[in-house]
A and B are shown apart, each in its own frame.
Chain A
Amino acid sequence: MTTLLLLLLPSMLFMAGVFALPLARYLWLSFHADSVMTGLVAIPNDGANWNRFLNDLRYWQDLGQTLRFAVASVTLELLLGLAIALLLNQPQRGRALIRTTSLIPWALPTTVMALGWRWIFNTPYGPVNRLFESVFGHSLNALGEPSLAWLTTVYADVWKTTPFVALILLAGLQTIPSDLYEAARLEGAGALTCLKKITLPLLLPYLGLALMFRMAQAFGVFDLIQVMTGGGPASSTESIALYAYWNALRFLDFGYSATIMIGSFIILTMMVAIAWVVIATARRRSVVGAPS
C-alpha cells in the first residue's frame, strides 16, 4: 500500500501542480480584489467579483458568442471532416499524398494563418473583397460587419481544423473491417444504408473524440480571434478567453479575470456533465431496449 502510494506520488504531484494548484489559486483570487486600484495586492472583497460576474452583460454576451462560434465551427468541421475522411478512405492512387498535404492548414501556427486570412478578408485591399466588388459591384466588409465577422472567424477555424478532424475520422474508418460491408452487400445494402447502419455507429467513438477535442479548443478560442478581429467589431466576435485576457492584461484586474475563468470553468463542466448523462442514458437504453 505504501509502495503503491509512493509510486503514484510523482504523477499525483504533477497533476496537482498543473491542474489543482492553478485552479485553487484562481478560486481563491476570485474572492479578492486584486487590481491597480489595490496596488496589485489581493484584498478580500466579500464576493463582489461574483456579484459583478453574474450581472456582467458583456460576459454573458461573450459566452453566447463563444458558444455560437464553437457550435458552428465544430459542426461544420465534423460534417466536412467526415466527408473528406470518407473520400480519403476510398482506395485510389495518390491517397497518401493527399492525406499528407491536407494536413498543412492544421500544421500552420494559428497566428500565422490568422494573419493570412485577415489580409485575404481585408476591406478594401484583400483579394476576397476585390473579387466580390468585381462580381457584385459593391464591397464586402467581411471583418468589419458584426453579422459577417463571426462567420469569417468560423470560416478560418474550419479551414484550419477540418484536416485534423478528418484525420481522426479516417483513423476510425480504417478500424472498420471490410467484411461488415461485404456482408451488407450480399443483402443488397446501398451506400446510404451502409453509412447509416455500419459506418456512423462504428465511427461514433471517433466522432465523440473529435467533438470533445474540438469543443474544448473552440470554447477557449483566443489567438485566432485576437489576430483576426481583436474581438471586434463592437466586441461582436469577442470570446470569453479574450474577455478574461483583457481584464487581466489590459485593465490589470486579476481578481475579476480569475472570476471569469472559474465561472467559465464551472459552466463548461456543467455542460460536459449534462452531455455525459444524455449520452450514457441513450447508450443504456439501446443496450437494454433490444427487442426480445
Chain B
Amino acid sequence: MTLHLQNVGRCIGNQWIVRHLAFQIGNDECLALVGPSGCGKSTTLRLIAGLDPVSEGSIAIGGHDVTKLTPAERSIGMVFQSYALLPHLSVFENLELGLKIRNVQCKDRSIRIQRVLDLLQLSDRASHRPAQLSGGQRQRVALARALIRDPEVYLLDEPMSNLDAQLREGIRPELRRLVLEQQKPTIYVTHDQHEAMAMANKIAIINHGQILQLDTPINLYKNPNSLFVAQFLGRPQINCLKPSDNQIQAIRPEDLKFDDSGLPCRLLSREWLGNTQLLYLASSEGDLRMIMDPSFECPERLFVRWDPQKAFYFDRETGKRIP
C-alpha cells in the first residue's frame, strides 16, 4: 500500500494555500511534515483525508485514485490536534461510534474496542469521559479511534502539541513503535523539528504551502537545499554570517573550532546545558553560536575558525543553496 500525491494544490479565492505537493510514501514509511504555523500542514492532511476539495493534482492510495472520493471511502485514520473526542460520550462510546456508523456487528465492535484499549493501556478507562482523562490518555484515545478502523493511511496532525514537553518525550517511543507496527503509510505533522527527526524516516519541510525539501532527516541536516531548511533543522540554530557578493555563508555551531589564527570574537553570554554549553559570540561577521564541552572555561576574547568545506553557501535573494 502506498500513498501517492501528484502535484496536489488547494486554492481558496485566488490564493494558493498549498501547491505542487508531490511525494510517495510506502508501507513502512512515516513522513513528517514540518514547517512554521500556517504554512499549510493541516491543509495537506485535510486534502489527503478528503475533508477539503483538491483544486489541482491527484491523490492515490494503493494505486487507486481517490481524489474524487468522499472521506469515508478513503480509509483514513486521522488523529486531530484537538483530539476531537465527543465530551458527552465515554471512551468506549467514542470508539464505538465510528464502528456503529460503519455498521460493524455489535459483537465484533466490542472485540475490536477491547483489543485497541488493551493495546493502548486504556482498558480501565473505558467508562470514563474525556474530561476525566489526563492529556496523555486523551491523546491515546484519539489514536485508538484511528487504529480501530484499521485504515490504509494514518494522518496525525500535531498529535502531541497539547502535551507538556516531558510527557511528549515519554510518549514518543511508544507512539513510534505503534505507528511502525501498523505497516501503513503515515504522515506525521508537527512544527517541532526535534519530534519530526525522532518520529519519521523522511521529513518534508514546508513553507508558504510548498515543500522546500523532502529527504531523510540526516540528509536534510547534512545537505539542506535552502537557507530556510538549514535554519529549520538543528538546534542551536545554524550561524549565518554577514552576506558578501550576494552570498550567505552558514555554518553549524558544532563545526566552529578554537584557533588562534581564526576570526577574533568576544564572548557575549553562555548557556550551560548540562552535557554541553552554548556560547554566544560577537564577531565582525555577526553573532555566532558555538557548542563546547561543559567544563570549558571560556575567556572573554577568543578566536574561532571553521573548515570551509563544512560551511553552506546560499543565494542572498532566493535563499537557494549554491553548490
Contacts and interface: CB of A to CB of B under 8 A. Distances in A.
A179 B84 contact: yes
Interface stretch (B72-80, B164-172, B294-302, B308-316): B72-80
B127 A292 contact: yes
Contacts of B149: 187
A184 interface: yes
A248 interface: no
Given A179-B84, A182-B51, A197-B86, A287 B78 contact: no
Interface string B76-95: 10101110101110101100
Interface string A22-61: 0000000000000000000000000000000000000000
Contacts of A94: none
Nearest to B110: A291
B100 to A, nearest CB: 9
Interface string B206-218: 0000000000000
Contacts, number: 72
A180 to B, nearest CB: 5
A98 interface: no
A186 B151 CA distance: 11
Among A183, A201, A204, chain B packs the most CB atoms within 10 A around the CB of A183
Contacts of A188: 70-73, 101-102
A188 B92 CA distance: 19
Interface in B37-80: 46, 49, 51, 70-73, 76, 78, 80
Nearest to B113: A291
B145 A183 contact: yes
B163 interface: no
Nearest to A177: B82
* Interface residue range, chain A: 20 to 34
B72 A185 contact: yes
Contacts of A204: 88
Contacts of A185: 51, 70-72
Contacts of B51: 182, 185-186
Nearest to A291: B92
A177 B126 contact: no
Contact of A292 (B49, B88, B126): B126
A187 B72 contact: yes
B129 interface: yes
A189 interface: yes
Nearest to A193: B101
A281 to B, nearest CB: 16
A177 B92 contact: no
Nearest to B99: A187
Contact of B98 (A187, A201, A290): A187
B97 interface: yes
A182 B84 contact: yes
Nearest to B82: A179
B87 A202 contact: yes
29 contacts: A179-B80, A179-B84, A180-B84, A182-B49, A182-B84, A183-B78, A183-B80, A183-B84, A183-B98, A183-B145, A184-B101, A186-B76, A186-B98, A187-B72, A187-B97, A187-B101, A187-B102, A188-B102, A193-B101, A197-B86, A198-B86, A201-B88, A202-B87, A286-B88, A287-B129, A290-B90, A291-B93, A291-B126, A292-B126
Interface of A: 177, 179-180, 182-189, 193, 197-198, 201-202, 204, 286-287, 290-292
